Structure 1
């Protein structure tokens, strides 16, 4: 059975997966030596909003993603909230273990909040039938129809959220720390978190959503995991450079062209990844997921994060509006997180 080479290559590039199973790999900080090319005014201190360690905001994001994960259940749109939650969990554990890991942990927490808010806005609009960015439209369409793999669901959503959303989130947060230094070293440090997170991510996606993922990745794409980790860093390097372009051109006539180029890049990648559907895969995945979730419920091992993550971000609860219409995807949810 043949699978899309673009999808297999992209998973290796994004998550460092190869040879049929996820293995830990050493982190080599090659892109860390690349200097920032542009800095804006010093950012506001986010300690009051996210806590001195940033955990207030990171825990909030983790809890929100657990809610989306539970809401979608075995719908293929649940794959990305699971990926995103596990990555956020890894960031939380890093901050809990070493509050000094980032130069500006409060700013990192605020960035996590701003980044998540773009996903929440997209999924709220999607469920309400409103337009969403093209890369996200491709990802959501693939998750809702056809015989796509969990690999496709994961890659298409990661592409949309990172290549499309992240430059805009970084532009909102700013490229400069409150003390005037560049935020790029903190951006680069997060590559270590990604490196640590790929094993639990891939293993959980395979366990819950697609038991054939290991077979898919075992077809012999011979990229070394260490090289794959560097591809992750290089991709995020491009995200940083796009954010620099957004900030530099914010007040010029180039602003629309810069934003359009980011949208185009993410959508082009999505179109390349959206190949290789496998007949019958959807029904097999659904049956597997329902069985696993039933076993998890019986064992009391639901995916919800611990109660200590169920906290609001900032100096009080954000405004909330809930509207439910529980048929054919018309359910709408909005929790506004001001950034």
Structure 2
């Protein structure tokens, strides 16, 4: 079993178990596919159609995804040669977005316009956090979500392993940002059909990404990303657990979208912020890298980042 990715699975397992979103039965599954019918049976809460009125990709054109991929590639082209620790998530996010583009173009999703809008808004949140951290003063940095502050400071300080950078950024972007993006773009189409089926459908696309993305991270940035290979058990376990995270994200988006009072909205926001920050603190401790590992990683990246 690949040791680094086993760490990913165990970390995801712990976070889901602690948060109460994984049952003991689900934790014992080794194949994500049996989970899909269960998720499909969890109906979305009725939510009215609220037209998306944002200025980011208002028409949901496929060109929006292409523009996002182009910007991601440009950013990676700067981060990778510098062996910037933010390059780890930058690479992973680029590969995921390329996969989303391919899925949209193949007709995989029911509502490609909604997917285009969601993809653009979601990526914009990431770009904003990264740019504010890198270009802003202390006050500006303090304004970004705490989960992102912890992730980006760990990258600046070179304080965690490559897998730690990945996990911290993934936590900030999924557990913090994703619910807000979903609520902003809308949970229900103009025809009254929930977008949750499209949200769930991408789980199966993610299954195909764990192996190649982690292998590329190891080859380019941190060889300990992917040390030992015996089986694919960790990929299927990660698939099960990621489904739990994405289900939680959807439910948090429902709380945001369906809040009837400012207090309800504030409670939903507080829950998202507190959970993502707590996970960030845990991940920061779990993936701390000592001087030897940091030096080894820097040397490897200098020779292999291309």
- TM-score between the two structures when normalised by the length of structure 1: 0.74
CA distance in 1, matches of 2:251, 2:184: 14
> What is the CA-CA distance between 1:222 and the residue it aligns to?
10
> What is the CA-CA distance between 1:95 and the residue it aligns to?
2.3
**Cα 1:58–1:222, aligned 2, differ >3 Å: closer, same or farther?**
closer
> What is the CA-CA distance between 1:13 and the residue it aligns to?
8.7
Please, which of 187, 199, 212 is the counterpart of residue 200 of structure 1? 212
CA distance in 2, matches of 1:7, 1:164: 18
Shifted more, 65-74 versus 239-248: the winner is: 65-74
Please, which of 175, 193, 196 is the counterpart of residue 184 of structure 1? 196
1:58 matched residue in structure 2: 65
> What is the CA-CA distance between 1:164 and the residue it aligns to?
0.1
Please, which of 111, 116, 125 is the counterpart of residue 123 of structure 2? 116
2:42 matched residue in structure 1: 34
SS of corresponding position for 1:253? helix
Task: Judge conservation of contact 2:179–2:250 (CA < 8 Å) in 1.
Answer: yes
> What is the CA-CA distance between 1:10 and the residue it aligns to?
2.6
**Cα 1:57–1:33, aligned 2, differ >3 Å: closer, same or farther?**
farther
Please, which of 63, 67, 73 is the counterpart of residue 74 of structure 2? 67
Q: How many residues align?
A: 276
Please, which of 153, 165, 174 is the counterpart of residue 177 of structure 2? 165
Please, which of 132, 137, 148 is the counterpart of residue 160 of structure 2? 148
> What is the CA-CA distance between 1:71 and the residue it aligns to?
2.0
Task: Judge conservation of contact 1:142–1:274 (CA < 8 Å) in 2.
Answer: yes
1:235 matched residue in structure 2: 245
1:83 matched residue in structure 2: 92
**Cα 1:236–1:64, aligned 2, differ >3 Å: closer, same or farther?**
same
CA RMSD across the alignment: 2.9
**Cα 1:221–1:94, aligned 2, differ >3 Å: closer, same or farther?**
closer
1:245-276: CA deviation from partner (whole Å, max 9, x where unpaired): 00111643221121011000000111111124
Task: Judge conservation of contact 1:148–1:281 (CA < 8 Å) in 2.
Answer: no
CA distance in 1, matches of 2:232, 2:14: 12
**Cα 1:271–1:43, aligned 2, differ >3 Å: closer, same or farther?**
same
SS of corresponding position for 2:245? helix
Which has more helix, going by share of residues? Answer: 2
1:185-222: CA deviation from partner (whole Å, max 9, x where unpaired): 0110111221122222111111111112223x66x999
CA distance in 1, matches of 2:14, 2:217: 17
User: Structure 1 stretches of 5 or more lacking a match?
Assistant: 15-24, 297-339
Task: Judge conservation of contact 1:167–1:243 (CA < 8 Å) in 2.
Answer: yes
**Cα 1:196–1:221, aligned 2, differ >3 Å: closer, same or farther?**
closer
SS of corresponding position for 2:187? coil
CA distance in 1, matches of 2:117, 2:268: 24
